[in-house]
A = this chain, B = another copy of it.
Amino acid sequence: MSRTTIHDIAKELNTTAATVSRALNNHPSISSATKEVVRKAAQKLNYRQNRAASSLRSGKTYVIGVIIPSAEISFFGSVIHGIEKVAKSQGYSVLLFQTNESYEDEAQGIQTLLQSNVDGIIASIAKETTRYDHFQEVKNRKIPLILFDRAIDELDVPAVVIDDYKGAYMATEHLIRQGYQRIAHISGPQHIQIFHERLRGYVDALKAYNYKVDGDLITYGKVSIDSGRTCTEALLNLPKRPDAIFAVEDFTALGALQAIKETPWNKPGQIGLVGFANEAFSAYITPGLTTVDQQTALMGQEAANIFMNLRQEEPTLVDLPQKIILDPVLVVRQSSLRKKISRRREE
């Protein structure tokens, strides 16, 4: 059986191949209603767009490249779903590149995506990355670049982030309202803006409630399960140990939880714990982890929407970067709830 062409679709709909082509390529001159009819006919006739030919004509590949630090962090998987949802609706495909948090890999990823002639790049920056020449190259080539979550203001490109400061403030405030007295924070590398912002939110929440900000209770980890565990062990060995911990993200919190559970003198519910990111596992562990949800699907959709707008405009619009700041959502589970009974006993 020969492959369905746009001519077959045009015949079916009694219209011209040019109209079908424009509709399938989402051309602004075609109405939404017509696009819908053409897409349905294309689907019915099992038509697969010959992107190679189409891209020869338009100079577009209809591919968006997405750079993520790790495919094993469900946060990124969830943002990708948001990106894909918008991309698919506009006839774009999404190719992913995983940096494993390495600068070298990230630079390689940018090269690989540029070489694949992607129409735009949506990226979240690796932990290790402290210089941005590779991203500058994307800008120089006038290819739309949008950052999400781990963004860098100095790059001066559009970004979708959540309000990390506010999320951390909410998390710390929640622990204060539960009645915890000594609330520690395990932070992350400070050159990454989001971790710095979360530290600020923690400090400001303490101040707002007239809590002393105790430098002993602030540690800097490496954003991993192992690091969360090590930092927590150190915190729990302090002469004046904390009764609650706000961890910079959920993997750190998971390590903290393991260390807390193994502490001989600890009773369940004695040490409060809050994470950040609402990783998939945080609902499944015992106790369930209180954490800050980052509206991941929305983040991905907004990032893809920015790309869809940029591609229609003159590249110079990149000079006016847009920043979308989403609101964090506190998800309260068991890990942060102070047990009233054990509290009375202590008093």
From A183-191, A216-224, A277-285, A314-322, the one touching the partner chain is: A277-285
User: Which residues of A (99-124) have their CB < 8 Å from a CB of B?
Assistant: 100, 105, 107-109, 111-113, 115-117
User: Quick one: given A95-B95, A96-B71, A96-B96, are A112 and B63 in contact (CB under 8 Å)?
Assistant: yes
A284: contacting residue among B93, B100, B108, B281, CB under 8 A:
B281
> Size class of A's contact patch?
35 or more
User: Quick one: given A254-B284, A280-B281, A281-B284, are A98 and B80 in contact (CB under 8 Å)?
Assistant: yes
- For the complex formed, measure the closest distance between the CB of A87 and the CB atoms of chain B, giving whole angstroms: 10
- For the complex formed, measure the closest distance between the CB of A223 and the CB atoms of chain B, giving whole angstroms: 16
Do the beta carbons of B84 and A78 come within 8 Å of each other? no
| A52 at interface, CB cutoff 8 A | yes
- For the complex formed, measure the closest distance between the CB of A299 and the CB atoms of chain B, giving whole angstroms: 15
User: Quick one: given A98-B84, A115-B61, are A107 and B48 in contact (CB under 8 Å)?
Assistant: yes
Do the beta carbons of B95 and A97 come within 8 Å of each other? yes
Do the beta carbons of B98 and A51 come within 8 Å of each other? no
User: Which residues of A (101-158) have their CB < 8 Å from a CB of B?
Assistant: 105, 107-109, 111-113, 115-117
Distance, CA A95 to CA B98, complexed state (A): 8
| A170 at interface, CB cutoff 8 A | no
Which chain B positions have C-beta within 8 A of A97?
93-96
CB closest chain-B residue, reference A51: B115
Which chain B positions have C-beta within 8 A of A95?
95-97, 112-113, 116
Distance, CA A78 to CA B100, complexed state (A): 12
User: Which residues of A (52-95) have their CB < 8 Å from a CB of B?
Assistant: 52, 55, 61, 63, 70-72, 74, 76-78, 80-81, 84, 88, 93-95
| A31 at interface, CB cutoff 8 A | no
Which chain B positions have C-beta within 8 A of A94?
97-98
| A309 at interface, CB cutoff 8 A | no
Distance, CA A341 to CA B137, complexed state (A): 67
Do the beta carbons of A63 and B98 come within 8 Å of each other? no
Which chain B positions have C-beta within 8 A of A109?
93
Which chain B positions have C-beta within 8 A of A63?
112, 115-116
Distance, CA A98 to CA B116, complexed state (A): 17
Which chain B positions have C-beta within 8 A of A51?
111-112, 115
Distance, CA A50 to CA B107, complexed state (A): 12
Which one of A55, A70, A74 has the greatest number of beta carbons of chain B within 10 Å?
A: A74
Which chain B positions have C-beta within 8 A of A284?
254, 281, 284-285
Which chain B positions have C-beta within 8 A of A210?
none
| A286 at interface, CB cutoff 8 A | yes
Do the beta carbons of A100 and B71 come within 8 Å of each other? no
